[in-house]
Amino acid sequence: MSKILDGKAVSESVKEQVALGVNELKKAGISVGLAVILVGNNPASKIYVANKKKACEATGIKSFEYILDENTTQDELISLINTLNAEKSVNGILCQLPLPPHINEQAVIEAISPDKDVDAFHISNVGRIMVGNFDFLPCTPAGIIEILDYYNIKIEGKNCVVIGRSNIVGKPMAMLLMHRNGTVTVCHSKTKNLADITKNADILISSVGKANFVTADMVKEGCVVIDVGMNRSEGKLCGDVCFEEVAAKAEYITPVPGGVGPMTIAILMKNTLTAAKKQNGR
Ligand code: NAP
């Protein structure tokens, strides 16, 4: 049976460090603020926004919430972002995705000042990650690296397989693993013979979004399995990985819930502190 990578515990230690940093700034008369914008009534998004507010409270970050109607226009949303870009008490701005279909997500992401783009989705931050010269890292992939580091799991020289190539998880994950000298393979829906590839993974990261997608016959004995998926099966939250059977083969595995999810929010807090420091010349 494998060791559980406890994302909740790692996230608590990240948030403790952030709280110390926020407190240091407070002593110097600087408060740290994060603006979170939610458009519409997506139930999952509402839960994420509530969790982000809780993490702000735990770390001493002031949270500014903007809950907008489903029918908010793109111009209205971008106008709010422009106001927040200019607002000194707001160090980070996050617009919860997905947005309603009448709003162009990329246009909204590009409207956020790169200095306040704590999700690291702005094209200039994406480019900086590509060349390895960055202030912020995207929260989910950075949280995964933090878990691996916490448990002293080496990436260098390892065969790392990422399933999924989205802009927010798969692609930046591959980039960060490459920066750490992993040998990276990225798989997606057009990949042929997926199991032949995943069976070679020392570190397997699944970000597909399908319950029971990764089965025991797809992994090798002694590997590390990171489950990014957040799915519902029979009303219960679950990842992409058939946990019990894969855990019987893997050396380390993240659970869902309690794995990658809490790390994503902890890194968001870390990025907000980084933004505040940078904006105040520290
Ligand atoms: P996404 O944009 O839907 O991307 C899913 C990826 O999976 C795509 O690249 C897709 O390939 C690939 N895929 C789909 N079917 C496949 C198949 N049969 N074989 C191989 N690859 C396949 O999703 P996402 O935003 O990256 O999120 C993925 C999952 O992670 C979701 O469950 C999401 O809720 C979860 N998530 C969790 C956190 C967290 O904090 N824990 C954060 C973000 C996301 P194509 O590109 O070819 O379509």
- How do residues 136-168 score in pLDDT, each as one tens digit? 999 999 999 999 999 999 999 999 999 999 999
Q: Fold for 139-261, please state it.
A: Rossmann fold (3.40.50)
Q: Report how far ligand 1's centroid is from the alpha carbon of 229 (Å).
A: 7
User: What pLDDT, on the 0 to 100 scale, is given for residue 2?
Assistant: 85
Mean pLDDT throughout 235-251?
97
Residue of 131, 140, 65 whose CA lies nearest to 95: 65
Dihedrals φ, ψ of 161, to 5°?
-115, 125
Protein residue closest via CA to atom 35 of ligand 1: 229
Mean pLDDT of the chain: 97
Mean pLDDT throughout 88-111?
97
C-beta of 168 in contact with ligand 1 (< 6 A): yes
176: Cα separation from own chain's centroid = 12
Residue 114 DSSP one-character state? G
Mean pLDDT throughout 250-259?
98
User: What pLDDT, on the 0 to 100 scale, is given for residue 217?
Assistant: 98
- Measured between alpha carbons, how far is 245 from 256 in angstroms, rounded to an integer? 14
pLDDT at 261 over 80: yes
Report domain extents, the chain.
Answer: 30-113, 139-261
User: What pLDDT, on the 0 to 100 scale, is given for residue 156?
Assistant: 98
Q: Do domains 30-113 and 139-261 have the same CATH topology?
A: yes
Residue of 86, 91, 93 whose CA lies nearest to 65: 93
User: What pLDDT, on the 0 to 100 scale, is given for residue 83?
Assistant: 98
Q: Please state which of the four CATH numbers 3.40.50.10860, 3.30.70.580, 3.40.50.10490, 3.40.50.300 is assigned to the domain occupying 30-113.
A: 3.40.50.10860
Substitution site in 208, 230, 269 for ligand 1 pocket (most atoms within 8 Å of beta carbon): 208
Mean pLDDT throughout 61-79?
98
SS3 91: coil
Distances (CA, A) of 130 to 172, 176, 188: 8, 9, 20
- Buried/exposed 45-84: b ≥16 CB within 10 Å, e otherwise: beebbeebbebbebbbbbbbebebeeebebeebbebbeeb
Residue 6: what residue type? Answer: D
H-helix or E-strand containing 176?
Answer: helix 170-179
What's the chain's length in residues? Answer: 282
Q: How many Å is the Cα radius of gyration of the chain?
A: 19
Tens-place pLDDT, residues 17-62: 999 999 999 999 999 999 999 999 999 899 999 999 999 999 999 9
Kindly state the tokens that stand for 188.
């997606």
Percent of the chain residues past pLDDT 70, beyond the cut: 100
Substitution site in 47, 188, 256 for ligand 1 pocket (most atoms within 8 Å of beta carbon): 188
pLDDT at 1 over 90: no
